[in-house]
Structure 1
Amino acid sequence: MIEQVTTLRIPKLVIQGALDPHPTRVAQHFAKLVPSASYIELPHVGHLPWIEQPDLLKEVLRPFLTPLL
């Protein structure tokens, strides 16, 4: 999958919940391997930020998406 993602010439955002059962180091490593990727870890959030903390997710997504519009 990384090979396919690296060919995309668009900004990428890797979002990880601090309480996600998947290790944060995996998401951090993925973000480092992918060109033009940013990494954000959301505190007090598990695997479903759009359900657990939708307002926090909006705060994170807005500055990332606004320049792309």
Structure 2
Amino acid sequence: MNIDPAITEALDATLAAASDQSGDFKKRFRTLVGLILTSNYQDSDLRRVMESLSVQIGSED
């Protein structure tokens, strides 16, 4: 699958800035974007990405 270079560049920049996210999340997110662009994703693909997302609630002192 070929992703438009502009999308790849934006995705790279976004994931580089997501330093609080795991490598697993970044890999799954990148895969999900590719699947969405080809209209070839399922709910389970989205669920796996959401399960690997790290969310911080509140502030750390």
Query: Could you say which TM-score interval applies, normalised by the shorter chain?
Result: 0.3 to 0.5
- The TM-score normalised by the length of structure 2 is 0.42
Please say which structure displays the higher CA radius of gyration.
2
- The TM-score normalised by the length of structure 1 is 0.39
Higher-strand-fraction structure: 1
